[in-house]
Amino acid sequence: MLKQEEYFDFIRRDEKSDARSTEASYTAIEEPWVKRYQEIQTKLAGLGKEHGELRDKKKLGLTPEEDARFKQLQEDLKAANRKFQDFLAELVTELGKVGTERAAEIGEKNLDKLKALQGTLKELGQGSVVIHYLMTDEKLRMILTTPNIQLVRDSLISAKDLNQKIFAFRETLQNPRKNPLPQARDLYDAVFKPIAEDLKQAHAQTLMISLDSTMRYIPISALHDGAQYVAEQYRIVIFTEAAKTKLTGQPVSQLKLAGLGLTKQIAGFNPLPSVKDELEGIAKIIPGVIHLDETFTKDIFTDVLDTQYPVLHISSHFVFKPGTENDSFLLLGNGDKLSLADIRNDNFDFNSVDLLSLSACETAMGGGKDANGREIEGFGALAQNQGAKAVLATLWPVADKSTGIFMQKMHELRKDKKSSKAEALQSAQILFIRGSGQKPGSGGQEQAQRGKVIYSESADKDVFKPDPEKPYAHPFFWAPFILMGNWL
């Protein structure tokens, strides 16, 4: 939690001044560092990386020129850090103007303790960085933490305008007949472009992202810079406080699969004929057990958790209803409904699960409040809070056939190329975007979904016309899959 009094004590400039009611002003002593910060503010990530490299080299000894450069970089980073501390102080002032609930929500992000994450990022390697987004009434704030520096960038877009763009984009993403690129470029400019150059300077590869408010409803991977999707440039992982202590945990050496799935039609739900091939295909990659239809029961679910299979893959229907854990449920193979309340109250133990892949609709979605004012978690977040090291979940109802192909590709890439979870996910997304390794077909005509069918023929002039060689290039097919937690 953000501790306001600690911040106020830290930034108080004299005994008569209180940051809760006083704007920070710079003294004559401070002005030189302020001027230096203005000179280097566009180079911060690069300077931080250079400082980190020299710091590592210092163990073996630096040349006089390198030592002089190292000392200059230290002074530059001090200026950057003072600016970051001013941001935290400013944030405290902003929190004083919002409701208690919103202040608590931001406080749970532990933004005053991000410095400790830098050691984790160094241990993880692979160009890993953390990005925290904060939506305010007047602007979007972005906090970038690299192994060597922390900095803040702003986008001058109001929460109202950003919300409108987010919901319009989400609607487009769920319709494979609508062209997503105009909105993907527009949102890229608003939420990603302000840190794009910083990411390049930091040589970032894996982005661990903490999303805020309605930003949780869209995949950052589907944003587009005019030349490429973000998914083609970076590995995207959702950063959660629940999994923070498990980020550096290495995957088990011998993977074993428990596959649970539904293929038949249940009253009110479509049959999922591709699930059988999906699970059998994954089982050829990762040995284990499969329970389909009538054999996929609540008892079987708890049994595979108790048997401690490292990879748990579930292919079925999932229904999320904001505001109620009792009515949000996973449809089991025998037709029973396993609610989120059941999973929480019956203490389902996911601690042995290295990767829980939820091949069902909207398993990443959460939202609404229960009777006690607590936000309702989605299936993915709940599983993480109950021990799962990593969860692959979905943001909207997914197509049956293409999802089966996607899941098999991801697990195949992870095993055959000895890739991390994040690398395998990104590689599978790129295969769909560019069409490599797919059978020609008409992805735009696939109607069977693991959830309610929500798209129809688009009346827009700007219709997305799939390339027969790239049947699943539309983000509808590859962007709903998000990886949460440990990505190794």
Angle at 451 between CA 449 and CA 455, to 5 degrees: 65
| 178-204 average pLDDT score | 98
110-129 tens-digit pLDDT: 888 888 999 999 999 999 99
Residue pointed to by tokens 């999922």? 272
Kindly write down the DSSP assignment for every residue of 252-303, as one continuous string. Answer: PSS--EEEEE--S-BTTB---THHHHHHHHHHHHS-EEEEEGGG--HHHHHH
| 94-102 average pLDDT score | 79
* Cβ neighbour number for residue 307 with a 10 Å cutoff: 12
| 465-486 average pLDDT score | 94
207-216 tens-digit pLDDT: 999 999 999 9
* pLDDT for position 182: 97
* pLDDT for position 71: 97
Amino acid at 261: G
Residue pointed to by tokens 């930091």? 202
276-303 tens-digit pLDDT: 999 999 999 999 999 999 999 999 999 9
Considering the entire predicted model, what is its pTM? Answer: 0.89
Beta-carbon contacts of 56 under 8 Å, excluding residues fewer than 6 positions away, are none
Domain limits, the chain: 4-108, 250-428+479-485
CB-CB contact of 339 with 328 (8 Å): yes
Strands 481-485 and 390-394: antiparallel
Buried/exposed 13-48: b ≥16 CB within 10 Å, e otherwise: eeeeeebbeeeeeeeeeeeebeebbeeeeeebbbbb
Q: How far apart are CA 464 and CA 471, in angstroms?
A: 11
Lowest mean pLDDT, pick from 61-75, 82-96, 219-233? 82-96
Amino acid at 156: L
119-156 tens-digit pLDDT: 999 999 999 999 999 999 999 999 999 999 999 999 99
* pLDDT for position 378: 83
Q: How far apart are CA 355 and CA 392, in angstroms?
A: 7
Q: How far apart are CA 229 and CA 141, in angstroms?
A: 22
Q: How far apart are CA 167 and CA 161, in angstroms?
A: 10
| 447-459 average pLDDT score | 52
250-428+479-485: in CATH 3.30.460.80 = no
pLDDT(461) > 70: no
pLDDT(362) > 80: no
Beta-carbon contacts of 267 under 8 Å, excluding residues fewer than 6 positions away, are 335
* pLDDT for position 450: 58
* pLDDT for position 448: 57
* Cβ neighbour number for residue 206 with a 10 Å cutoff: 22
pLDDT(459) > 80: no
